[in-house]
């Protein structure tokens, strides 16, 4: 059984190319990082399948904002490495969630330094800068709500609304440290935020090209390719209805049932295979005397 576990884990790591299991081995004894094992954030971020589905769905949401899309278009190699942004997000989320306080703050500083350099103009001449608080809030809210929606759908459908609000409040600390402002800290506030932001969103040829790159599976091996296909469909299914309509993407009827049952099966299998290793190791490190 251990050999099967190792094989599955190896394919997962090859798929995402992530070193998300690496946490600060030199943390001060008892340092629980920015959140700690009693936080809802530790629970939500501890499941690979839901984070993958939520991460892809978040990227589709983010690309609806013209200035966020422009940053990806002008400053990334999404055509050659469509999962690069998702991979970097996974490493950042893992490090800021389960790493030491020192590691988490260092990762935030690194992202701020990268954002300093990401600037340019839209095709119509409108300037954009990745340090714009409004853009940072958009990226944060789309990420946090997508991670949460995926976790509730596939891991813990009975997660209390109070815990869901607590997760959003906990995650707002990261957003503020990155420079976001007026960050929603509850489900209702996020709902109102999306309603207020929707008039700024649009879809054009560049949006469709980036979305196609994100959703097109590339792995050569059958297992990872099937997982990517399932994750892409589940990510579309996770989108708010208005966002799916904007992208002209849908998963309906029998296909929706198949996608959700496949995602549920993948969640159970990968939870068994990966055994939340990053969270468990962080727990051991943070409670060491």
What is the Rg, in whole angstroms, of the alpha carbon atoms belonging to the chain?
18
Cα 152 to Cα 53: distance, rounded to the nearest angstrom? 12
Instruction: Please tell me the number of Cα atoms within 13 Å of 171 on its side-chain side.
Output: 32
DSSP designation for 28: P
Which positions ≥6 away from 161 have C-beta within 8 Å? 187
Q: What is the pLDDT along the chain (289 residues), one digit of tens a residue?
A: 666 666 666 666 666 555 444 556 456 767 899 999 999 999 999 999 999 999 999 999 999 999 999 999 999 888 778 778 888 899 999 999 999 999 999 999 999 999 999 999 999 999 999 999 999 999 999 999 999 999 999 999 999 999 999 999 999 999 999 999 999 999 999 999 999 999 999 999 999 999 999 998 666 666 677 888 899 999 999 999 999 999 999 999 999 999 999 999 988 888 777 765 566 555 555 555 3
Q: Are 54 and 148 in contact (CB under 8 A)?
A: yes
In angstroms, rounded to a whole number, what is the distance separating the alpha carbons of residues 49 and 226?
13
- 120 forms beta bridges with 128
Beta strand 119-121 with 127-129 is: antiparallel
Q: What angle do CA 179, 241, 193 make, to 5 degrees?
A: 30
Helices assigned H by DSSP within the chain: 2-16, 40-44, 48-62, 66-75, 84-98, 101-117, 133-154, 161-178, 187-197, 205-215, 222-238, 241-247, 253-274, 277-286
What phi, psi does 22 have (nearest 5°)? -85, 115
The pLDDT assigned to 15 comes to 61
pLDDT at 237: 98
Structural domain boundaries of the chain?
Answer: 2-11+31-286
Task: Give me the residues paired with residue 128 across strands.
Answer: 120
* Residue found by looking up tokens 């989320």 in the block: 93
- Residue of 44, 277, 42 lying closest to 152 (CA atoms): 44
Rounded to whole angstroms, the Cα distance separating 133 from 240 reads 23
Tokens of 157: 């459908």
**pLDDT score recorded for residue 194:** 99
The DSSP call for residue 156 is: -
Please count the residues of the chain.
Answer: 289
DSSP state of 129: E
| Per-residue pLDDT, 21 | 47
Distance CA 162, CA 217 (A): 36
Distance CA 58, CA 266 (A): 20
Region of residue 29 (phi > 0: left; psi between -120 and 50: alpha; otherwise: beta): beta
């Amino acid at each position: 059984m251990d050999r099967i576990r190792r094989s599955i884990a190896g394919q997962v790591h090859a798929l995402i190319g992530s070193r998300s299991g690496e946490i600060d081995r030199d943390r001060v004894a008892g340092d629980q990082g920015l959140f700690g094992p009693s936080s809802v954030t530790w629970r939500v971020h501890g499941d690979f399948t839901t984070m993958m589905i939520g991460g892809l769905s978040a990227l589709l949401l983010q690309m609806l904002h013209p200035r966020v899309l422009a940053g990806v278009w002008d400053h990334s190699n999404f055509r050659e490495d469509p999962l690069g942004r998702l991979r970097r997000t996974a490493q950042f989320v893992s490090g800021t969630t389960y790493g030491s306080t020192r590691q988490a703050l260092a990762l935030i500083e690194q992202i701020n330094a990268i954002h300093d350099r990401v600037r340019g103009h839209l095709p119509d001449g409108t300037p954009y800068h990745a340090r714009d608080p409004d853009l940072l809030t958009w990226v944060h809210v789309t990420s946090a709500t997508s991670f949460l929606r995926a976790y509730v759908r596939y891991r813990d459908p009975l997660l209390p609304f109070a815990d869901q609000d607590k997760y959003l409040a906990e995650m707002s600390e990261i957003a503020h440290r990155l420079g976001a402002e007026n960050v929603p800290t509850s489900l209702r506030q996020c709902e109102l935020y999306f309603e207020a932001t929707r008039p700024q969103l649009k879809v054009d040829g560049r949006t469709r090209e980036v979305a196609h790159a994100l959703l097109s599976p590339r792995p050569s091996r059958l297992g990872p390719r099937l997982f990517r296909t399932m994750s892409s469909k589940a990510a579309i299914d996770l989108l708010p209805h208005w966002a799916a309509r904007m992208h002209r993407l849908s998963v309906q009827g029998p296909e929706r049932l198949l996608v959700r049952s496949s995602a549920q099966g993948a969640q159970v299998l990968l939870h068994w295979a990966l055994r939340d290793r990053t969270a468990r190791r962080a727990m051991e490190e943070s409670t060491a005397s």
